[in-house]
Amino acid sequence: MIVRIEEKGAVVLIEVKEERLDAHNSGEFKGQMLNLFEEGKNNLVVDLQEVRFVDSSGLGALVSGFKNASARNGNLKLCGLQPQVKSMFELTRLHRVFEIFPGAEEALASF
């Protein structure tokens, strides 16, 4: 699982550098977010620009991150969703849960 993690002031930007976020790598992704929460970093932006495919367990990992961030008075926002990936959020109604931005700059500026 390749991710690029960069601190942008009080917010951490996570760029997912994988074509698929699925049952094979979502557990590892969840673990990487948990490490950030344990370091006290509770405001995250997940950039999915390079992700072409997300399944239910990829969505589950993002829900887990969102719940963990919220429980710590932080937030997890998304950006860079490709059209088919976005349609997965709509199918599962998760587009009503996450704040979704076109690009990382807009997402970072919203905190």
Catalog residues that contact other proteins under the rule CB under 8 A.
19-20, 22-24, 53, 55-57, 59-61, 63-64, 66-67, 84, 87-88, 91-93, 97
> CB-based contacts of 57: which residues, under 8 Å, 6+ apart?
22, 23, 26, 27
Nearer to other proteins, 97 or 100 (CB): 97
Q: How far is the CB of 60 from other proteins (least distance, A)?
A: 4
Q: How far is the CB of 9 from other proteins (least distance, A)?
A: 28
What's the rounded Cα separation, in Å, for the pair 1 and 90? Answer: 25
The secondary element (H helix, E strand) that includes residue 57 is helix 56-71
